[in-house]
A = this chain, B = another copy of it.
Amino acid sequence: MTETGDESQRLQESGPDLHSLPSPALVLDRDRMDRNVARLSALIAGHGVTLRPHLKTAKSIDAARRIHPDGPGPITVSTLAEAEYFAREGGYTDITYAVGLDPAKAPRAVALCDAGVDLKVTLETAAQAAALGEAARGAPRKPAVMIEIDCDGHRGGLTPDDPALVEVARAVVSAGLTLAGVLTHAGASYDLNDPEALAQAAKNERASAASAAETLRASGFECPVVSVGSTPTAHFARDLTGVTEVRAGVFMFFDLVMHGIGVCAVDDIAVSVLTTVIGTKPAKGWILVDAGWMALSRDRGTSKQAIDQGYGLVCDLAGNALGDLIVDQANQEHGIVALRSGSSAALPDLPVGIRLRVLPNHACATGAQHDAYNVVAGSSEQIVAVWPRMRGW
């Protein structure tokens, strides 16, 4: 795995470090990311199934290359713009678009196939299948179809026992399309924090998808792909019999929500927001920083967990958490850092100009507020690479 040679070289010689990079900025610890990727890759390989990373979290071809150093592999995306980006920039061709298809987007899905992508789209109604079939009529290559399965009442999809399942499969074939398989997501696993309950959620996710696939096969449909996935269940699954692939996204960076669920340690979290102290209010126990919700996002995913991390956990420049210090409130470009409610610690002396790093509640949401990752590696404070992020739909 090599950096983009010249650019990286230049940065190492004369580029910014964590002291000189303008704040706020998104920082990615590449070693932590590599460790997270290696950990889940080994787990999934141990089950003998395929890891199809969900790149909605990273939205970066450079990050994707750390997962697939030997060339493009199978990926999941949440928008057609992501599919177009990863196909164009990285030569990715095995792409599953895991959000229910808006019929108006069917021509764009077909165009991706024309461009050489083996695209799988997700749907749950005969109307979507008919719209896609219509858009793909006469096309030499057509998107294949994943039927969305609802395993835990969390979002969309058909329950495995819904009679509509076979009807939708019939509509797919009638529309001249290939049924690739079934796809489910254990979104309810995000509300758990107990290893046994997470293992049960993974078991239920597996059973739901496998059962839906069996129903389709019993009705005469091939159903080669059985796709499951969420970062929590991917890490806690004990058995993936009947499953062919696992999707997960946030696993590569992790975040405070994943820490609260029990999937990772705080020092596995690979993304943070660099910020600078711009004011203090000792009488109120406040330290004002230049990372507000524009830099951190409005995500408050830990607010329902056992430990509420506010808008993020505050670390020193080396990435070590400063005890109970969190971003307690956020305005657009102001963060108010304070000790967690109930803390007996003393407010550290952090005068104007001091730089800090904030670990995010939700890596996907915080990443989306930024246009690039400033990559650090090892214990150096040097920025060794800048990885652009894509956005839009």
| A interface, CB within 8 angstroms of B | 20, 22-25, 56, 78-79, 99-105, 108, 124-125, 127-128, 131, 148, 150, 153, 155-157, 187, 276, 278-279, 281, 284, 288, 290, 293-295, 297-300, 331-334, 336, 351-353, 362, 364-365, 368-369, 371, 391-393
A-B contact pairs, 14 of them (CB 8 A): A20-B104, A24-B393, A79-B333, A99-B290, A99-B334, A100-B279, A100-B334, A102-B290, A124-B279, A128-B352, A155-B288, A295-B393, A297-B298, A300-B300
Q: Which residue of chain B is the closest to A277 with respect to CB atoms?
A: B102
Whether B279 and A156, one on each chain, are in contact in the complex, defined by CB atoms closer than 8 angstroms, is yes
Across the A-B interface, the 7 shortest Cβ-Cβ residue pairs: A298-B298, A100-B278, A156-B279, A102-B276, A78-B333, A298-B299, A103-B353
CB distance from A215 to the nearest CB of B (A): 19
Q: In the complex, what distance in Å separates the CA atom of A194 from the CA atom of B79? A: 42
Contacts of A127 in B (CB 8 A): 351-353
Q: In the complex, what distance in Å separates the CA atom of A288 from the CA atom of B185? A: 15
Whether A284 and B334, one on each chain, are in contact in the complex, defined by CB atoms closer than 8 angstroms, is no
Contacts of A368 in B (CB 8 A): 294, 369
Q: In the complex, what distance in Å separates the CA atom of A351 from the CA atom of B127? A: 9
- Max chain B CB contacts within 10 Å: which of A104, A124, A157? A104
Whether A125 and B279, one on each chain, are in contact in the complex, defined by CB atoms closer than 8 angstroms, is yes
Q: Given A127-B351, A128-B352, A393-B23, is A187 in contact with B371 using a C-beta cutoff of 8 Å?
A: no
Whether A332 and B56, one on each chain, are in contact in the complex, defined by CB atoms closer than 8 angstroms, is yes
**Can you name 11 extra interface pairs (CB under 8 A) apart from A56-B332, A103-B353?**
A56-B333, A78-B333, A79-B333, A99-B334, A100-B290, A100-B352, A102-B276, A103-B352, A125-B352, A156-B334, A298-B298
Contacts of A362 in B (CB 8 A): 298
